[in-house]
Amino acid sequence: MKKLIGIALLVFAICVNVNAQSKVDRAEMEAKKLTKELGLTEEQIAKKAEIDASTMEQFQEINVMRQKIMEERKAMPQDATPEQREAINEKMKALRETQIAAKKLADERFQEILTEEQAAKYKELRTVKKAPVAPRPSKK
């Protein structure tokens, strides 16, 4: 039984590590794509790496706080008042807003290191081009 639990924990740890590694790989691929598309210099690439590293640290801190709030939510009694539930929901909302703000700040900091030409190209790359939508046939 102990071996089964040990194996399950090992498999779980491997899955978590693989998931984290795939996120890093995706970020690296995105960075390579940006470098190629925008023609970034070595200095700009280094600054982008610094920005990404600080953003990842912020996201890790946010995730730790999110885990604490989730534990707090689990520990909440079944007969908790609506005010208590709302307080936890507000904390989660504040964390989401903090994460969005951190992402926007990182994007702004990255755009500051770009030349005007690179910034224009970057905005063009980030713009999602929507395909025209065909009208739905009426049900008559």
Instruction: Identify the sign of the CA torsion 60, 123, 33, 130.
Output: positive
Q: Are residues 71 and 101 in the same domain?
A: yes
Q: Are residues 44 and 100 in the same domain?
A: yes
Q: Are residues 47 and 99 in the same domain?
A: yes
Per cent of the chain over pLDDT 90 is 25
Predicted pLDDT of residue 118? 85
Q: Are residues 82 and 27 in the same domain?
A: no
Q: Are residues 47 and 23 in the same domain?
A: no
The boundaries of the domain holding residue 80 are 40-110
For residue 10, give both structure tokens. 């090992």
pLDDT, tens digit (0-9, with 9 covering 90-100), for 83-117: 988 999 999 999 999 999 999 999 899 889 888 88
Q: How many domains does the chain have?
A: 2
Q: What is the mean pLDDT of residues 111-131?
A: 81
Whether the per-residue pLDDT at 21 is higher than 80: the answer is no
- Confidence tier at 45 by pLDDT (50, 70, 90): confident
Q: Are residues 62 and 97 in the same domain?
A: yes
Asked if residue 49 is part of any domain, the answer here is yes
Q: Are residues 81 and 60 in the same domain?
A: yes
Distance, in Å, from the CA atom of 35 to the CA atom of 30, rounded to the nearest integer, reads: 9
Question: Which regions of 1-140 does DSSP assign to beta strands (E)?
Answer: none
Q: Are residues 34 and 46 in the same domain?
A: no
Q: Are residues 58 and 77 in the same domain?
A: yes
Asked if residue 132 is part of any domain, the answer here is no
Q: Are residues 67 and 24 in the same domain?
A: no
Provide the mean pLDDT of the chain: 81
**Cα diameter, the chain:** 65
Q: Are residues 64 and 20 in the same domain?
A: no
Q: Are residues 15 and 73 in the same domain?
A: no
